[in-house]
Chain A
């Protein structure tokens, strides 16, 4: 994601406020990768993802006049994304996936039968294991490793103290590593 200066962002927001559709498109393109990453990890059903991304950007657009530049725009929009995803998940009641059957049901779109046969790389296995983890852990792992947010920013996104973020991140990584090691031989990885 290309970084955008505060000055440029202010100008962009001003233009969006005046109904400039090109400015809004630029804004969406700027953050769509970040949002896609969060939604990919948090929303297990591939059919829902695009709609969820759209809802996130509409909510962001509606709330842009209230953005006070007290935090980074990426943190602010990530917060909207996380809340929207949690809302979707709670409505669909697939918050916690507890057993293996459910994990496979919740697999991302790559979970075609032949896919598992053909792609046995760590990334694929990791995606599968993440899909079966607690949504809070999934979110923290995504925000920290993929979106490169720091503890403080994740705390702000998830309304958690920094210490809790750190503790959850450690637990999530340990759990993920253990899940992978339990399922696959150490040498395989």
Chain B
């Protein structure tokens, strides 16, 4: 038998059943050393007592009362995949695109130095005009709805508004 007693952490390791073949030495020591065995026994009693549920119980109508209270509260929305801050650049970009679609910018650049931008806008407007389709309506509607929803979320977040169902 080894004269070195087991460390407290080794005994707790055995208590939790977390040992493998390499720890068989410890088991052998425990079988022969009454001091270490009694320490393990103390931990086993402690562990068993700790696993007893408390006598304190919630009242019988707890589930009913809590369910009624919870249903009055607003369920949180599904967690966003994207961080909240992403809404601000997305909002600005969408507003820019919407503004571009709705406003004829070419006249505004006539006397400015943004000639390259002007050319770009003119080209895009040209293609839109050439297509002859009324496809503007779809992105305008989609973007408007998107902007409204983003604004709604930002306002609700800012003022911590709670919607009751």
A residues at B contact (CB < 8 Å): 17, 19, 21, 24-26, 28-29, 32-33, 36-37, 40-41, 46, 49-50, 53-54, 57-58, 61-66, 108-110, 122-123, 126-127, 141, 145-146, 148, 169-170, 173-174, 176-177, 180, 189
- Which residues in B have some Cβ–Cβ distance to A below 8 Å? 8-9, 12, 42-43, 45-47, 49-59, 62-71, 73-79, 165
B56: contacting residue among A108, A123, A145, A177, CB under 8 A: A108
A40, A146, A170: the one contacting B9 at CB < 8 Å is: A170
Closest to A57 in B: B66
Contact present for A21 and B68 (CB under 8 Å): yes
Q: Interface of chain A, helix or strand or loop or mixed?
A: helix
Chain B residues, Cβ within 8 Å of A32: 58, 62-63
Q: Supply 14 further A-B pairs (C-beta < 8 A) apart from A28-B66, A37-B54, A50-B58.
A: A19-B165, A21-B67, A25-B63, A28-B62, A58-B66, A58-B69, A61-B75, A62-B74, A65-B79, A66-B79, A108-B56, A126-B50, A127-B54, A189-B45
When the two chains form their complex, are residues B49 and A123 in contact, meaning their CB atoms are under 8 A apart? yes
A126 to B54, CA, bound (A): 11
Q: How far is the CA of A9 from the CA of B65 in the complex (A)?
A: 21
Complex Cα gap A41–B51 (Å): 12
Nearest-neighbor residue (CB-CB) of B56 within chain A: A40
A122 lies within 8 A of B53 (CB): no
With A and B bound together, what is the CA distance between A129 and B53 in angstroms? 16
How many A-B contacts are there with CB distance less than 8 Å?
Answer: 107
> Is the beta-carbon distance between A170 and B76 smaller than 8 angstroms?
no
Residues of A within 8 A of B75 (CB): 17, 61-62, 64-65
Chain A residues near B77: list those with CB within 8 A. 65
Q: Closest CB-CB distance, B72 to chain A, in whole Å?
A: 9
Known: A61-B75, A64-B75. A28 touches B63 (CB 8 A): yes
Residues of A within 8 A of B43 (CB): 173, 177
Given the complex, which residues of A lie within 8 Å of B63, measured CB to CB?
25-26, 28-29, 32
- The chain A residue with its CB closest to the CB of B51 is A145
Cβ contacts under 8 Å, B9 to chain A: 170
> Ordered nearest first, which 10 A-B pairs have the shortest CB separation?
A145-B50, A66-B79, A28-B63, A24-B67, A61-B70, A62-B76, A40-B54, A25-B63, A25-B67, A65-B78
